[in-house]
Amino acid sequence: MAVVCPECDNPIDVDVDEVEEGETVQCDECGVDLEIVSVEPLQLVALEESGYDDEDTSHLVEEEDE
């Protein structure tokens, strides 16, 4: 199933059988992290946290909760 990135309008292919609510996927086009807030219907919201460019900085970001 494809959704459109809310940030850049790039179509993102998400396999709803392999994701759950609360998971995050990343937009290949703009790199934004998108949290799956609903699987049926498929709905994503962009995460705009400090871990913006989290290629290898995720271990530097303090995350108390998951």
Q: 44: exposed, middle or buried (C-beta count within 10 Å: 0-12, 13-18, 19+)?
A: buried
- Closest Cα to residue 13, out of 42, 48, 50? 42
Nearer CB in complex with Zn ion: 30/45: 30
Q: Does 35 bind Zn ion (CB under 5 A)?
A: no
- Closest Cα to residue 22, out of 4, 44, 54? 44
Nearer CB in complex with Zn ion: 29/63: 29
Question: Which of 1, 22, 24, 29 is close enough to bind Zn ion by CB under 5 A?
Answer: 29
Question: Which of 10, 19, 43, 46 is close enough to bind Zn ion by CB under 5 A?
Answer: 10
Q: Does 54 bind Zn ion (CB under 5 A)?
A: no
